[in-house]
Structure 1
Amino acid sequence: MAYDFDLFVIGGGSGGIAAARRATEYGATVGIAEAGRLGGTCVNRGCVPKKLMVYASRFPESFEAATGYGWSAVDSTLDWSTLIKVVNDEVTRLNGIYQRMLDKAGVQLFRAYARFVDDHTLMVGEQKVTADKILVAVGGQPIKPDIPGIDHAITSDDVFHLPQQPQHLVVLGGGYIGCEFASVFHRLGSQVTQVIRADKILRGFDDELREQVQGDLIQQGVRLLTESKILSITKTEAGVDVCVRTQAGEEHVLADAVNLAATGRRPNLENLGLENTAVKVNQGAIATDAHSCTAADNIFAIGDCTDRINLTPVAIKEGRIFADAYFGGKPGTMNYTNVPSAVFTTPELGTVGLTEAEAIAQYGADDITVYRTRFRPMVYTLPDMPVKTLMKLVVQTSTDKVLGAHMVGDDAAEIIQGVAIAVKMGATKADFDATVAIHPTSAEEFVTLR
């Protein structure tokens, strides 16, 4: 049977675009459907605009540190409207770059939603399209918990379009999204109350790193209500009344009409028509094998709509591996071990490999040695600021292999990105020790730990 396309991609995010472009390099005819802005969550509502706001939030600390070096004190205020404009202007610029990349590759872009009719047929807007292979790369969407009045809460998608800076922001959730925005808005000058169910933020990360970031956020002024639950959200003339059950009892927090629900994300599968195909869904995510293939042998899925690691670079790599395998004759599978990640709070968290607890569970406490250091970076000595950095290596004693590298502090993501190469290659503690340090730097501590 002749199809309109060799490959049709549903979703114009980073993963879908990477797969589409790579497939055209092998001569495939490719179409892609995206009703929204190109680039997906990362470019439009996630990594990029968030990181720009992180940068903005760190200038006050730089102003403060400068006085320790002889610079006069700076009396500076934030123009919220300027920040929001320049952030969104950059997002628009990146959208144009994605459009030009698709045009150059010869990918046909459909500005519409796509819905399955059957395993090979899609309704893209009002147009019926057929394809030999179909790749689902629709990403995820924020979850709003079932709380009375939750419609008065915004999500992380809405943050970058607030017309005014919130004076008091209530953040619901202790995951990386909630913690990043709690940190950003506090440092931009908003009062922040963060409500979490657990006793610590950032579940799943190394416990020492969690404690370090949590302690630093509290020290900076974020009000953290642990082991607490939002019972209701009520709009009032004075703002938004958030009723919270805390360890001390019921409490009402008045915010200025803005609450951020940062309680995770789920695959964006609504109205996709998967029921018209052989594709299986497992716990809300598309089920795939190691080759990104679903239960329908011509339909594939990558990125946040699956149940694997939900990170943009992972989706991009999955997309390229898929295209290489099915259009380039280069079989391969994604390796999900030792994937580095970061949390862009201030202080920043960077990590790769096993946490201390995971290493002990896998190899036993007797076969694990942990090397750690806490210190004040040199830049903060002259202004005498109480800023600390934490670094640690988790090592298997019997093999000397570095199983995990973790850091909280300035430039943690940049430093861990380099360290991740060594961990991915199976470097030993002796390999780290044999590496000559660059002095004076914070990063040198990773090769001088004793």
Structure 2
Amino acid sequence: MEPSPPVVFVRRHPVGGYEKTAQAHREGTLHKMLEVTGQAEGPSYDLIVIGGGSGGLAASKEAAKLGKKVMVLDFVVPTPLGTKWGLGGTCVNVGCIPKKLMHQTALLGQAIRDAPKFGWNLNEKAIKHSWDTMTEAVQNYIGSLNWGYRVSLRENSVTYENAYAEFVGPHKIKATNNKGVVKFYIAERFLIATGERPRYLGIPGDKEYCITSDDLFSLPYCPGKTLVVGASYVALECAGFLAGLGLDVTVMVRSILLRGFDQDMANKVGEYMEEHGIKFIRKYVPSKIEQIKQGTPGLLRVTAHSTEDSGVFKGEYNTVLLAIGRDACTRKIGLEKVGVKINEKTGKIPVNDEEQTNVPYIYAIGDVLEDKLELTPVAIQAGRLLVQRLYGGGKTKCDYVNVPTTVFTPMEYGACGYSEEKAIEKFGEKNIEVYHSYFWPLEWTVPSRDNNKCYAKIICSIPEKERVIGFHVLAPNAGEITQGFAAAIKCGMTKKVLDSTIGIHPVCAEIFTTLSVTKRSRANILQSGC
């Protein structure tokens, strides 16, 4: 005779959810109970993931591997210009992947300019860039990734629906596809991984005439003379590769560059871009965008006002790219119906150190989290670790501090750990030592360009035997350099360990094994050779 299933007592949660209180409760009984009592109106799952980006996909597959019944709901709301894309989220479709490929396109342009100094005979009249060829190649690759994600979900027995998800009640969700067909599902737990979308200015003409990064990577024409509005990493990366393709590019900055990053490094990034032909208009914000000529790309007139005085700027551009920040996709998914709290100003979701919202059965990862890093690998790591804790007996929590990242501006900027400003704030200026130096990549010596532009800096905690708490580098291939050092930093690397490490000669990363000058000393760090 089979044993009776455990009894599950359910009471109303103060915010409208259900709270499980039975001692005998086991995984999966809640959704079965809802089906039996007629509250389901649709199939039930152990976990429903809302959002098919990198974090959501990683979490869903991890849960399925642990034997759970999982669904992913993903829907891309088209941009004001009608741009949309396939499964995979921002990173794959309109973020990291196309950005890095277009950055590489610009680097190839620089390599072509350097080549004659190394003996390559090039017919410069025959060298020109084709926007159409580049975007077609990039979009073909992205399309292959979209298909691969769908196949991977199927192979892992994860149910996928291209439908817009909204909470409608406790443990219950409504999914609407692009044809307006509505279905309802219930789940034991939910994971919000909806990410963010670009912000608009809220001025006349912004949505009608401007583009964002959501539109740029599949733009069917070369953008021509471009105004990039914003100073985020998205703004500077896009401005960098567009200028690298030979376009006339201007960046309009409201306040500071790369807010949240080390400002010493951010200013060096800006200086390098300016020295290489990218114009900057500082302390101005657009107030009106007008179309003065139709076409692809057409012509736009931008009116902007100073943030410091009564100054007015007017300029004409073929394309205006808005990169002023991103908003969390949390306000239109029914969170208020189940009582999930959000930051009303930002839309971000506060969570505890296990990515749990104030509603116990609802979790969140990725860019929607309040006060967390907005990076694809962070979302992936957080999603996998969360699922391992929920279903696999795991204990490890995501580390949101020692996270390596790279800004793919013309001079790449890699960082891990604390910025100088944050280190001073947390540890105190007297308790940190900053070692730094300029350097000259060997590859740049023959073309004789950009000496004393690459820069290395580490921040050390003096009371902890100079443990490295911040790592920063401006250099070609900065991401490749930073990735390796990030592992060492997680292992507690000290300045003494760095000094005892033999460098690989002649590479850029070698500079970190020979740093000897402190910022405090104000000694000269300019280099005369590699």
Matched, 1:374 2:434: no
Which residue type is aligned with residue 201 of structure 1? L
Q: Indicate yes or no: 2:475 matched with 1:409.
A: yes
CA distance in 1 between partners of 2:116 and 2:466 (Å): 44
Q: Distance in 2 between matches of 1:74 and 1:136?
A: 54
Give, in whole Å, the separation in 1 of the partners of 2:427 and 2:473: 22
Aligned to 1:166: 223
Structure 2 residue corresponding to 1:215, chosen from 247, 271, 293? 271
Distance (whole Å) between structure 1 residues aligned to residue 508 and residue 450 of structure 2? 16
Residue type at the aligned position of 1:349: Y
* CA distance, structure 2, for counterparts of residue 304 and residue 367 of structure 1: 32
2:350 to 281, 287, 298: 287
Contact conserved, 1:65 with 1:385, CA < 8 A, in 2?
A: no
Q: What is the Cα deviation at residue 132 of structure 1?
A: 0.8
Match in the other structure for 1:83 = 134
Secondary structure at the counterpart of residue 274 of structure 2: helix
CA distance in 1: counterparts of 2:142 and 2:487, whole angstroms? 30
Q: 1:444 — aligned with what?
A: 510
AA aligned to 1:393 is: I
Offset at residue 270 of structure 1 (A): 3.7
* Percent identical residues: 35
Q: Which residue of 1 aligns with 2:238?
A: 181
| Cα distance between partner residues in 2 of 1:188 and 1:409 | 20
**Cα distance in 2, alignment partners of residues 148 and 184 from structure 1:** 28
The answer to whether the 8 A contact 2:239-2:251 is kept is yes
- Deviations along 1:298-325, whole A, 9 cap, x unmatched? 1111111221211111110111011101
Q: 2:58 aligns with which of 18, 31, 34?
A: 18
The one-letter code matched in structure 2 to 1:339 is V
Q: Could you tell me which residue of structure 2 aligns to residue 240 of structure 1?
A: 300
Residues 285 and 365 from structure 1, CA distance in 2 versus in 1: closer, same or farther, beyond 3 angstroms? closer
Deviates most, 356-365 or 422-431? 356-365
Q: 1:204 offset after TM fit, Å?
A: 2.0
Aligned to 1:195: 252
Amino acid at match of 1:12: G
1:253 and 2:315 matched: yes
Q: Which residue of 1 aligns with 2:170?
A: 119
Deviation at 1:432?
0.5
**SS at 1:38 equivalent:** coil
1:65 aligns with 2:127: no
Q: Cα distance 1:305–1:207, how it changes in 2: closer, same or farther (>3 A)?
A: closer
Q: 1:361, CA displacement in angstroms?
A: 2.4
Q: Distance in 1 between matches of 2:123 and 2:400?
A: 46
Structure 1 counterpart of 2:144, from 89, 93, 98: 93
User: Quick one: higher RCO (CA 8 Å, sep 6+), 1 or 2?
Assistant: 1
Q: SS of the residue aligned with 1:184?
A: helix
1:202 and 1:287 mapped to 2: Cα distance?
24
Q: Which residue of 2 aligns with 1:393?
A: 458
Q: Which deviates further from its counterpart, 124-133 or 201-210?
A: 201-210
Letter of the aligned partner of 1:265 in structure 2? R
Task: Show CA shifts across 1:340-392 (max 9, x none).
Answer: 11100010000011122222222232222211111221111111122531111
Could you tell me how far apart the structure 2 residues matched to 1:437 and 1:306 are? 39
Supply the AA of the counterpart residue of 2:253: I
The C-alpha deviation readout for 1:106-164, integer Å capped at 9, x for no partner, is 00111211111112111122111111111111111111022222121111100012121
SS at match of 2:102: helix
Specify which of 339, 342, 347 is matched with residue 278 of structure 1: 339
Residues 119 and 299 in structure 1, CA contact (< 8 A), matched pair in contact too = no
Q: Deviations over 1:32-56 (max 9, x none)?
A: 1113421100001100011111111
1:192-231 per-position Cα deviation (integer Å, ceiling 9, x unaligned): 1110111x41122222211211111001111101112212
Q: Tell me, in whole angstroms, the C-alpha distance in 2 between the residues paired with 1:95 and 1:444.
A: 39
What's 1:204 paired with? 260
Greater Cα radius of gyration, structure 1 or 2 = 2
Aligned counterparts of 1:325 and 1:218: Cα–Cα separation in 2: 48
Look up the SS of the partner of 1:18 in the other structure: helix
1:87 CA drift (Å): 0.5
User: Secondary structure in 2 aligned to 1:291?
Assistant: coil
Q: Contact between 1:9 and 1:16, CA under 8 Å: does it hold in 2?
A: yes
**Deviation >6 Å, runs of 4+:** none
SS at match of 2:450: coil
- Offset at 1:448? 1.1
Find the residue that maps to 2:321 and give its secondary structure.
strand
Matched, 1:141 2:197: yes
Q: How does 1:347-358 map to 2 (within 5 A)?
A: 347-358=411-422
Give, in whole Å, the separation in 1 of the partners of 2:213 and 2:123: 31
Letter in 1 for 2:352: D
**Residues 1:342 and 2:391 aligned together:** no
CA drift of 1:74 comes to 4.5
CA apart distance, 1:416: 0.7
CA RMSD of aligned residues (A): 1.5
